[in-house]
Amino acid sequence: MADPTRLDTVETWTTSDHMWTRRAALVMTLPWAKQNNPKPAEEAARDRILGWAASYVADTEWFIQKAVAWWLRDLSKRDQPRVRAFLDAHGDGMKPFARKEAAKYLRD
């Protein structure tokens, strides 16, 4: 997080043939989901990372789906509208366990 330009490098991981590398792109960026009161640049980073997560929705690998759910679950503690929007747009493509985990902390 100290150097947001590192996201340029991490983004290359999202298209790796290696599942663990793709997963690491979300796991390594979890601090952006956990920020309280993010600045505009940090909000932009969240949107960028959520774009990666959206590209993972079609991936049926359990560990990838879990990483998407984890990112969304942690973000929902701080930014429920953004998580709701993601689930509205992509939730039907997620595995049921991942959708449930992502929505774990959403309030009605």
Q: Per-residue confidence of the chain (108 residues) as pLDDT tens digits? A: 667 889 999 999 999 999 999 999 999 999 999 999 999 989 999 999 999 999 999 999 999 999 999 999 999 999 999 999 999 999 999 999 999 999 999 987
Contact indicator for 102, 90 with CB cutoff of 8 Å: no
Span 22-102 CATH architecture: Alpha Horseshoe (1.25)
**Measured distance CA(53)–CA(39) in Å, rounded:** 21
The number of residues making up the chain comes to: 108
pTM above 0.75, yes or no: yes
How buried is 80 (Cβ within 10 angstroms: 0-12 exposed, 13-18 middle, 19+ buried)? middle
CB atoms near residue 87 (< 10 Å): 17
**Measured distance CA(38)–CA(14) in Å, rounded:** 24
